[in-house]
Amino acid sequence: MEINFIRHCPNFRLEQFRQSFVLTLLETRKRDQHLLNPTVIDSFRGYLEEVNVKSKAIPGSVLITTAQGGLFCGGFDFRYARSHAGGSVDRAFKEMTDGFKDVVKDLLSLPMPTIAAINGDATEAGLMLALSHDHLTMRQVDGPYLRAELLSRKRSYPGYFAALIRSKVGCPLARRKLLLSDEQIDAEAAAKIGLLDWNHEVASEKDALEVAKTQADELAKKEWNGELYAEMRQLLYPELCKELELTSSHDC
């Protein structure tokens, strides 16, 4: 499979294969957790904008987001918050949650299907990043887990987090387990609550990125009208759109 390199920086690499794009969160040091701070968030948004621009010349584009190493994304960077707080960790935390809100808005506005290929754990804002995609794939053998980890952080989180959980996790019991019991969800449990939706049982031993690329090839055949696709996606989640202050031509 021919892969065309597009761009990279210390935290991200963007590549293209056939009609689709692969955005990879890179390891910058051993046991990297791909933590989200304002610098990483701004870079992430820049790459999403580049995908948006390039997709206009490629019918049937799909975005896959994945990560190197043992974690998909460990959430917000509290080391950054403590070192850049200027006397206020709360202010630094708000800067991160406000910035990440724009990442979620960008993903919900992309004119193409999106897939999170989760080869490592996704926790806290990392879980929200995964759920901001249209589809999820997870490695099932010795696989990762999803965990909200909000209660354990002992911090109030923004309303769009809860709206995202309510919009993407249909089962009330599963939502309670995620948010109020802080339970870990593996691929099998994620499939039971409808988060994995692409014949995942036939790919139990495959890498999540490999499964995502197969899925992307199938989606690309439909050659979506990108603007209509983004509009229909937003119409599916009116509560989330309201929390994100995101409007379409039909007003979410």
Q: What is the longest distance spanned by two Cα atoms in the chain?
A: 53
- State the Cα torsion 74-215-4-143 to the nearest 10°: 30
Quick check: is 47 in a domain?
yes
Cα radius of gyration (the chain): 17
- pLDDT (0 to 100) of residue 87: 59
Query: Which residues are CB-contacts of 81 (< 8 A; sequence separation ≥ 6)?
Result: 37, 89, 92, 93, 96
- pLDDT (0 to 100) of residue 202: 43
Residue numbers of the domain that contains 195: 4-244
Whole-Å CA distances, 191 to 165, 171, 251: 15, 12, 31
Whole-Å CA distances, 132 to 114, 128, 149, 165, 205: 9, 6, 17, 10, 25
Quick check: is 252 in a domain?
no
Quick check: is 167 in a domain?
yes
Quick check: is 250 in a domain?
no
Tokens of 172: 């009330």
Q: How many domains does the chain have?
A: 1
- pLDDT (0 to 100) of residue 196: 85
Quick check: is 251 in a domain?
no
| Averaged pLDDT in 10-residue chunks for the chain of 252 residues | 80 93 88 88 97 90 93 91 75 93 98 95 96 92 84 86 94 89 89 76 66 93 92 96 80 54
Query: Which residues are CB-contacts of 134 (< 8 A; sequence separation ≥ 6)?
Result: 113, 114, 115, 233
Nearest to 48 by CA among 124, 121, 100: 100
pTM of the predicted protein model:
0.92
C-alpha span between 21 and 33 (Å, rounded)? 22
- Give the helix ranges, DSSP H, for the chain: 38-55, 78-83, 89-109, 125-131, 159-168, 172-179, 187-192, 208-220, 226-236, 238-244
Q: List the CATH number of the domain containing 108.
A: 3.90.226.10
C-alpha span between 49 and 54 (Å, rounded)? 9
Side-chain-facing half-sphere of 29: CA atoms under 13 Å:
2
CA end-to-end span of the chain, whole Å?
39
What one-letter code names the amino acid at 166? R
Query: Which residues are CB-contacts of 80 (< 8 A; sequence separation ≥ 6)?
Result: 35, 37, 38, 92, 96
Quick check: is 90 in a domain?
yes
